[in-house]
Amino acid sequence: MLSLNVTNETSRLRAVVLGTAVSNGDVPSIEEAYDPKSIEHIKAGTYPDEADMIKEMEAVNNVFSKYDVKVFRPKIIENYNQIFARDIAFVIDNKFIKANILPDREQELDALQHVIDQINPTDIVKPPEAVHIEGGDVMLWNDYIFIGTYKGEDYPDHITARTNLEGVQFIKALFPNKIVKEFDLAKSKTEARDNALHLDCCFQPVGKDKGIIYKDGFRAESDYMYLVDLFGADNLFYITRDEMYNMNSNVFSIDEHIVISEEKFVRLNTWLRSKDFIVEEVPYAEISKQEGLLRCSTMPLVRD
């Protein structure tokens, strides 16, 4: 049995699911794509090659073995995108919550049955259908649960809005002792630079008290200020519109001092090192073309 335990984003990682780019399928058509950055690359003829993405994910896998992290991989579904393990389910404390994900991505969870079989069935939660929630929008910070959502009335029109207010209410009811704070995120179907697809596309904590943030990812300044006040203005690394587009907030922590980051994030990696983090650099620029990065492709199961 797996003893699930995740209460924040940065305590020492012991077990994780890492997605896979194997048999990712052909380049999707524009109609099949479900985020604006993939569409941009489909149009430009620069959609990433499977072989390149496999190499990038193996680099992450190697970092996990270096730090003795137990890694689970999804079973391969032929010609299906299974890179972004983060979104399909998530652990809060000792509960495994199955996400109600975009219908295009629903099969991804079946490929994790061998992991789910190792979890105590009483710890598995399946939200009702009206609840939309994806793991990229759910972020744990000890007593807090941060949730990205979209409050616009045009929610149903946005394929990039993945967590609704029913999702927020569901988590509130499930964890009455946590402080659940929702964040209204900027969405665009057509411009990836104006689209915070999930909360982890515009914010993520690192270390014990620091974080990476993009102001315009938040529709309401008060939501952004909530995080600035909670973490302290001097503890945040402020990323630009292009840095958010390149997914700088989507690094992944192995512990409070070790962060896996993209090798081209020079400004961020320099800041992290100046704050005494060990930065494990990997190439991940091809995967980033699908509007996801390191946090998106990992699903922590056990942290200290």
Ligand X SMILES: NC(=[NH2+])NCCC[C@H](N)C(=O)O
Beta carbon nearer to ligand X, 35 or 182 = 35
Q: How far is the CB of 136 from ligand X (least distance, A)?
A: 2
Q: How far is the CB of 57 from ligand X (least distance, A)?
A: 14
Q: How far is the CB of 194 from ligand X (least distance, A)?
A: 15
- List the alpha helices (DSSP H) in 28-176: 36-44, 50-66, 113-116, 165-174
- Decide if 163 contacts 148 (C-beta within 8 A): yes
Q: How far is the CB of 143 from ligand X (least distance, A)?
A: 23
Beta strand pairing call for 95-98 and 124-125: parallel
* 208 DSSP assignment: T
* 28 DSSP assignment: P
Cα 300 from chain centroid (whole Å)? 10
Beta carbon nearer to ligand X, 25 or 173 = 25
Q: How far is the CB of 233 from ligand X (least distance, A)?
A: 25
Beta carbon nearer to ligand X, 7 or 160 = 160
Beta carbon nearer to ligand X, 34 or 183 = 34
- Non-local (6+) Cβ contacts of 236 within 8 A are 210, 211, 212, 213, 227, 228
Closest residue to ligand X in the complex (CB) = 136
Which residues sit at the interface with ligand X, rule CB under 6 A?
34-35, 38, 84, 86-87, 136, 197-198, 200-201, 290-292, 296
Beta carbon nearer to ligand X, 32 or 275 = 32
User: Which of these, 177, 236, 169, lies nearest to 204 by C-alpha position?
Assistant: 236
